Structure 1
Amino acid sequence: MRNPRNEPLGSDISGNARGGSDAPERRCVLTGETTARDDLLRLAVSPDGLVMPDAHAKAPGRGAWIGVDKAALAEALASGKLKSALSRAFKTGALIIPADLPDLAEAALRRALLDRLGLELRSGKLILGSDRIANEARMGKVAALYHAADASADGARKLDKAWRVGLDEEGSGLVGTRLPLDRDALSVALGRDNVVHLALVDHAAAQRVSVPLGRFATFIGAYSGTADSGAGNAGDQPDIAQDVDDNELNFEGNR
């Protein structure tokens, strides 16, 4: 007998998986647009004015939020728009912005995603291997399915089908998420050989992964947003949006 129907997290990482209409919102200092906090990258500013990416959004002190991709950030940095925006937000021009900030941001977001996947693997929530994933998927135990960027179409298609069968979603078109990382990067980060397909067997874990995955993929331009992924619908009452915040949480660092 098939397990009771599960609700899949979904294959579109820019959708509601990272928060609903009541999710906290922040305003991008570059575009002025307000969207879900989990979709934005926080820039932390040290007491001496150094601006650095805060991929975990937990660095102490003051921070500002950006919702643009790497190319747009590089353009804003080169034109002086970023410094102007941050100077207005922090009411000071004494800021030190690294010339390689876009590269630093990409590396930090990439590391945050890989670190999260590693944590879920060690906790037993992330499973690897086509055969094991297919078996768990057919029993309806897979909350989220992922494929390496260079995974074969045939291999991904077979696991997608097993996932749909396990969830009673035949004909729905539900497919796993194609990660913006190839098998080599995943294998090195997770300490396993030939990591091509991954699956999370816990919905809370899938939610935890969706945040760094969404931030990284959005920043490098691997995905485009959907109508449901930004600010809440008209009439919603999310947390008050802000350009700058003071973070009192302990600094976890960007390795």
Structure 2
Amino acid sequence: MQVVQQSEAMMPVGPAGHDPAGGPLRTCLASGQTRPPHEMIRFVVGPDGRVVPDLARKLPGRGLWVTATREAVERSIARKAFARGARRAVGVDADLPQRIEGLLRARALEALALARRAGAAVNGFAKVEERLRSGRLGLVVCAEEAHASDSRGKVAGRGAPVMDFVDAASLGRVFGRDDATYIGIVSGPLAGRVAAEIGRWAAYRAPAGQAMGM
């Protein structure tokens, strides 16, 4: 998978142990490394004593932080790090790593849907190419089927970052269509939000040892 974008997950860390995008650095339960919050996933222990992912970082309770990769989450489960961080016995669902990937995917699709509802997204190669020529796009999202296609090569290097995401059928549902292979997002905050969410999903799925320098 190719991601051509310096997403929010790659932003520099500020001085004095602070992340300019999100406050103090946090310590990963899996590795013991400190990272800015936007490179991590926050968990809390719910009322039933089970670990709950808090991707929006808004749930009440003591935060348990893990680097935002599947490998780090799986390592935290294997080492019983959630119980150690919570200083109590906790329940961890066996499908937690898979469920987090689904939640990250859903957040990225919702960001695309928000851009569509705001009139900031266009679907279709011709429309994307036209707006690229006029310099109006801040991001191009391609379905995974288009990764090695000639058409994808034509939109790459045209002044807007290009990111590969999910299958064309899933992207099509955002637009109420059977499929969507090329989506353009108009330059602005929504393009940045979509890029950040897709980048977070992609980083989570990256092979062990390749994501975020682990």
TM-score greater than 0.5 by the shorter chain: yes
* Structure-2 separation of matches of 1:218 and 1:135: 30
1:75 Cα deviation from its structure 2 partner: 4.5
Instruction: Find 2:199's aligned residue among 190, 214, 219.
Output: 214
Q: Which of the numbers 158, 163, 166 marks the counterpart of 1:177?
A: 163
Map of 1:62 onto structure 2: 62
Instruction: Tell me, yes or no, if the aligned pair for 1:134 and 1:159 is still in contact at 8 Å.
Output: yes
Whether the aligned pair in 2 keeps the contact of 1:51 and 1:97 (CA below 8 Å) is yes
What percent of counterpart residues are identical? 27
Does structure 2 conserve the Cα–Cα contact (< 8 Å) formed by 1:183 and 1:195?
A: yes
Are residues 54 and 91 of structure 1, via their aligned partners in 2, closer, same or farther at CA, if it must alter by over 3 Å? Answer: same
Deviation at 1:53, TM superposition (A): 1.9
Q: CA RMSD of the aligned region, Å?
A: 2.8
Residue in structure 2 matched with residue 186 of structure 1 by the alignment: 171
Give the corresponding residue for 1:242. Answer: none
* 1:30 partnered with 2:30: yes
Q: Which runs of 5+ in 1 are unaligned?
A: 1-9, 165-173, 231-255
- 1:71 shift after superposition: 4.0
Given that 1:142 and 1:202 are in contact with CA atoms closer than 8 Å, whether structure 2 keeps it comes out as: yes
SS in 2 for 1:30: coil
37 and 202 in structure 1: CA distance in 2 versus 1, 3 angstrom threshold:
same
Aligned to 1:202, which of 170, 187, 194? 187
Counterpart CA distance in 1 for 2:207 and 2:143 is: 13
Distance, in Å, in 1 between the alignment partners of 2:212 and 2:127 is 32
Larger RCO, structures 1/2 (Cα 8 Å, 6+ apart): 1
| Runs ≥4 residues deviating over 3 A | 13-21, 222-227
Which structure would you say has the larger Rg? 1
Paired residues, what number?
A: 203
Q: Which runs of 5+ in 2 are unaligned?
A: 15-19
Query: 1:94-148 CA deviation, whole Å, 9 max, x = no partner?
Result: x111111111111111111111111111111122111111111111111112211
